[in-house]
Chain A
């Protein structure tokens, strides 16, 4: 039996996957950059736009990029780039409203159901299950039909449609937290249910809540863009990415795809950024346990 000198060998042939990427990994940084850019544009759009987004140049319908108009003119002679920059605002505000409404209602319902358990939990869960049956877009279309077009009705409708999903996911996390021994210790100390829920349960679910909110923003954006595309949301002549996709459709057939596609690409970029970020944040929140 020979005694060989020890040599360092790596047992695994693949790199150890730590289960979550650091905050500086490309999977997180790139989406954040995209989202930050979109947010800045949404806030400062009108200031950044080189031209008036609503002022048509009647001699230039569907003209390609030329002379200072980086993306050309749209079907009504307006500068496409300016409309994109200004349109970011309405395209992002709607999803923001949906996200805020859903996450707040959803978290409250989830925590209440998890804390009380019993009848409240059963009733809430069943009620939410019923709402689950309605797809968001359908409800939004119906609400537009009932209340008229505009941003408010679809936003409310989508909030109603998404809340059950959020509540369901958060309820699972809330139940897990509630079962932890520190919650029992606080109960024995005499802390009130409300205090425990707000000071302990929710903060410990923060990672998951942020991840959910991020993903939700992306979905809401697609749905609202679709609603606007259908003419039931933001109304023309207001600049809005969804509206722009619709009103410039003719351009694609006529050989000028840029106005319509550019708006579509903006939507896709931001939505994908939110989805990827949401997934990465979710992974991190799960592996942190």
Chain B
């Protein structure tokens, strides 16, 4: 496998879930790829499907989910993995979540759940596993790791616990880290620290990362590439450093424009009417964003647009080539 080949490839992923009596689409034709060592941001609001994408990749979708499409990790088809292969996969792809407390057993000590995966799946001795855990805790900025191993989750603050979860995720030396809104529940100062840790460790270990967030600025700041999702579809893929100034899709522009600025007060924010939709709420015969889009024209309502390449990125807007560089990005003119 050549070094530039993808680590993770998702192709036309469509997921349907049993919701209120019927199977409804939550992801529609999602395609993305992550190269080894690359950090990719996945941005969206409610219903965008960003969390569901990560869960599909990690094979932890809710029961009753119907999946079509392909997910390939290191060339292997993820959906058909089983038994020992699945265990190996879990060691190579790690996931951290928004609320560490919901994913830790309150009656088990930190040391116990940190070393669990290593001991059971990779046959490492408890002693060795603990030593590795302490070393990793140091890497995430927790100096007194020995002491922490004996503590319970409730004895740690949210930020500290999230650092522990990062360390736990890295213990199995994964090649890909899926981070589902890992800092959303944290204070902004703690967020900056945690994100800094992730950044450093990533580059040290050559770890690829999919960073899921609703915060466009955060994703763009720490990821090489950013993917924007709306209504269960990918609507834009762009180099992060160009996303803010030259988005390729009106939705991205709208997200940028809607955010108040920390530097200035706007007389009025550029808010678009309506609310973000889930895949099953979006019309199938036109662009999902058309009902709310300030640049929508007839051509947008004729068919569901497909994802096309443009200017080094990808966009699902049929008018993109006309609109790039001309969209309103802020209320400040």
A interface residues, Cβ below 8 angstroms from B: 1, 3-4, 6-12, 14-18
Contact = CB atoms under 8 A, between A and B. Distances in A.
A6 B68 contact: yes
A6 B12 contact: yes
Contact of B65 (A1, A6, A12): A12
Given A1-B75, A18-B18, A10 B12 contact: no
A9 B65 CA distance: 9
A3 B68 CA distance: 13
Contact of A9 (B62, B63, B79): B79
B68 A9 contact: yes
A7 B65 CA distance: 14
A16 B70 contact: no
A15 B75 CA distance: 31
Interface residues of B, number: 19
B61 interface: yes
B8 to A, nearest CB: 13
A79 to B, nearest CB: 49
Which 5 pairs of residues, A with B, have the shortest CB-CB distance?
A16-B64, A12-B63, A6-B68, A8-B68, A16-B18
Nearest to A15: B64
Contacts of B70: 3-4, 6
Given A16-B18, A18-B18, A3 B66 contact: no
Given A1-B75, A16-B18, A8 B67 contact: yes
Contacts of B75: 1
B24 interface: no
B11 interface: yes
Nearest to B60: A11
A16 B59 CA distance: 16
B63 A16 contact: yes
A6 B65 CA distance: 15
B4 to A, nearest CB: 14
A11 B61 contact: yes
A59 to B, nearest CB: 62
Contacts of B79: 9, 11
Contacts of B67: 8-11
Given A6-B11, A11-B59, A16-B62, 17 more contacts: A1-B75, A3-B11, A6-B14, A6-B68, A6-B69, A8-B67, A10-B64, A10-B67, A11-B61, A11-B63, A11-B64, A11-B67, A11-B79, A12-B63, A12-B65, A15-B64, A16-B18
Given A6-B12, A18-B18, A11 B65 contact: yes
A6 B70 CA distance: 6
Contact of B68 (A7, A12, A14, A17): A7
B319 to A, nearest CB: 29
A125 B62 CA distance: 40
A8 B68 CA distance: 5
Nearest to B17: A16
Contacts of B301: none
B101 interface: no
A1 B66 contact: no
A14 B12 contact: no
Contacts of A6: 11-12, 14, 68-70
A4 B75 CA distance: 13
B72 interface: yes
Contacts of A15: 64
Nearest to B69: A6
Contacts of A16: 18, 62-64
A9 B80 CA distance: 10
Interface in B30-88: 59, 61-70, 72, 75, 77, 79
Contacts of B63: 11-12, 14, 16-17
A62 to B, nearest CB: 55
Interface string B1-27: 000000000011010001000000000
